[in-house]
Amino acid sequence: MQNFVFENPTRIIFGKGAIARTGGEAKRFGNKALLVYGMSSIRRNGIYDQVMSSLNEAGLSAIDFPGVRSNPVLSHVMKGIETAAAEGVDVILAAGGGSVIDTAKTIAAGVKAEPGDDIWEFFTFKKRIRSALPVVTVLTVSASASEMNPTAVITNEKTAQKYTISSPLIQPRVSVLDPTVLFSLTPECSAYSAVDIITHMLEGYFNNREPESPLQDRFVEGIMKTVMESTEAILTDPRNYNARANIMWSATLAFNGLTSAGMGPVSYPAHMIEHSLSALYDIAHGAGLSITLPAWMSRAAPGNPSKFARLAREVFGVREINDVKAAAEGIGLLKRWFSAIGSPVSLKEAKIPENEIGRIAENAAATAALWGMKSYSRDVIAEILNLCKL
C-alpha cells in the first residue's frame, strides 16, 4: 500500500424524495443561489420544479443559469461567473450531471478569483484556486462522480483544449442523489454512463504504483460487476429502482477517491486520448471512452498480463489459465459488452475520420505533456488510435 491522504467531506443525501431536502441543505450556505443547469430536460421531467419548490420552502432565492451543454465550454462558464458576481449569490447550486456540476465548480472558483485573473490558467496549472463559493448539487446523470470529488473538466473551445482542475475548495459540500431522476435517461445516455464509471476505475486498476492491492482490486471488481448487471437490468426496465440506485451509488464511489486510495499516483491514458476525441468531434465522453479504453488495454496488456488476466477472471469469469490468453479474452469480452449496451468501440462507429488520427494524436500529446504522462508521445498515442480502427 502506498502512503495516502483520504478526506472526502461531501454530505450525500441519497434516496427517493431526497430532492425535497435540497433547500434545507443549501440554506446553511446563504440565501441566494445561482441555479446552474443544462437544457430543457429538467424542466420537462419535473426536477426543476422539485428543486425550486424546495428552495422556496427554505427561503432561498435562485437566479437561473441554464444552457450547460455536454462537454461544457469556457465561454459559458465565463457568463456564469459574471452572472454570479453581478447577482452576489452565496452558493452555486448545480442541477444536472457531470457537465453541469463541473460548470458550477468552475463558476464557484471563478467568482472568487482575483480581478484580472485568467480563469483558464487554473486549468493550465499556471494559477492556483485560492477561494471558492460553496457548491451544492442535485445529480441527474450518474457517471462522473463530480458530485463527490474535487475535479472539474472544461473545454476551451477557442484552443480546442479539454482540461481539468482539482481543488478541495470546489468539492460539493452537499450532493442530493435521488435514483428516480435516472428513470428518464435515454438508453444511450445510460450506456455511456456505465462506460464512464467503469473506465474511471479501470484506469486506476491498471495505472498505479502499487503491485499488491487486493483490497482496492476487489472494490473495483465488485463495483464493476454491480454496474454491469444493473445496467443490463435498466436497459430492459428503465424504472428498476434498485438497479438505478446501485448504479447511482456505484458511480459516486467509483471516482471519489475510495478505489484509488493507497495506489500511489494514478494516470488516465484512456481519458487523456478521449478528451481529444470529444474536444475535436464533440462526441459524448462515454462514447469516446468505449473506443479508447479497449484500445489502450490491448496495447498495455502484454506489459502486465497477470493483472489483465485477473480482471478477465474476476469480472468476466474467464477460465483460461494462461495469463496472456486470459487477458486478451477479457478485453474482447469488455469490448463486446460495450457494444452490446450500445456504446461505440471504433472511431468509425462514432463517425470520427480515421485519416485524422495524426491530428487527434497531436492534440492528445499536448494533454499528455500537461498531465506529466511522459511515456505518451504523439507516436504512442497514434499507435493506440490505430487500435481504435478495429
Q: Does 317 bind its own copies (CB under 8 A)?
A: no
Among 56, 131, 242, 306, binds its own copies (CB under 8 A): 242
Q: Does 368 bind its own copies (CB under 8 A)?
A: no
Segment lying near its own copies (by CB under 8 A), choices 51-59, 74-82, 217-225, 347-355 = 217-225
Q: Does 1 bind its own copies (CB under 8 A)?
A: yes
Task: For residue 307, give the C-alpha cell.
Answer: 493483472
Distance in angstroms (rounded) separating the CA atoms of residues 254 and 146: 11
Say if CB 361 and CB 275 are below 8 A apart: no
Picking from 288, 264, 285, 281, the residue whose alpha carbon sits closest to that of residue 384 is 288
Residue 174 vs 295, nearer CB to its own copies: 174
Residue 66 vs 238, nearer CB to its own copies: 238
Pattern 170-189, its own copies, x by CB under 8 A: ---------x----------
**Burial degree of 114 (CB within 10 A; 0-12, 13-18, 19+):** exposed
Segment lying near its own copies (by CB under 8 A), choices 10-18, 283-291, 292-300, 364-372 = 10-18
Residue 103 vs 208, nearer CB to its own copies: 208
DSSP for 16-48, written as a single string: TTGGGGHHHHHHTT-SEEEEEE-STHHHHSSHH
Q: Does 145 bind its own copies (CB under 8 A)?
A: no
| Consecutive H or E run containing 150 | none
Among 250, 259, 276, 363, binds its own copies (CB under 8 A): 250
Length of the chain: 390
Residue 21 vs 69, nearer CB to its own copies: 21
| Consecutive H or E run containing 133 | none
Beta bridge partners of 64: 35
Q: Does 255 bind its own copies (CB under 8 A)?
A: no
Say if CB 366 and CB 297 are below 8 A apart: no
Residue 139 vs 350, nearer CB to its own copies: 139
Q: Does 82 bind its own copies (CB under 8 A)?
A: no
Picking from 102, 122, 126, the residue whose alpha carbon sits closest to that of residue 113 is 122
Picking from 250, 256, 249, the residue whose alpha carbon sits closest to that of residue 14 is 249
- For residue 288, the number of C-alpha atoms closer than 13 Å in the C-beta half-sphere is 21
Segment lying near its own copies (by CB under 8 A), choices 93-101, 194-202, 222-230, 330-338 = 222-230
Q: What DSSP state is assigned to residue 342?
A: T
Query: CA–CA distance from 291 to each of 123, 136, 286, 360, 366 (Å)?
Result: 25, 33, 9, 13, 20
Q: Does 223 bind its own copies (CB under 8 A)?
A: yes
Segment lying near its own copies (by CB under 8 A), choices 122-130, 200-208, 224-232, 277-285 = 224-232
Task: For residue 163, give the C-alpha cell.
Answer: 482540461
Segment lying near its own copies (by CB under 8 A), choices 188-196, 255-263, 285-293, 365-373 = 255-263
Distance in angstroms (rounded) separating the CA atoms of residues 380 and 390: 17
Among 86, 114, 212, 321, binds its own copies (CB under 8 A): 212
Instruction: Quote the least distance from Cβ 297 to its own copies, whole Å.
Output: 22
Instruction: Quote the least distance from Cβ 198 to its own copies, whole Å.
Output: 14
Among 57, 118, 229, 379, binds its own copies (CB under 8 A): 229
Query: CA–CA distance from 377 to each of 138, 190, 294 (Å)?
Result: 39, 33, 19
Say if CB 345 and CB 389 are below 8 A apart: no
Instruction: Quote the least distance from Cβ 105 to its own copies, whole Å.
Output: 19
Residue 215 vs 369, nearer CB to its own copies: 215
Among 30, 67, 262, 332, binds its own copies (CB under 8 A): 262
Amino acid at 320: E
Q: Does 261 bind its own copies (CB under 8 A)?
A: yes
- # residues near its own copies by CB under 8 A: 41
Residues forming contacts to its own copies in the complex (CB under 8 A) are 1-18, 179, 212, 214-215, 218-219, 221-223, 225-226, 229-230, 241-242, 245-246, 249-250, 253, 258, 261-262
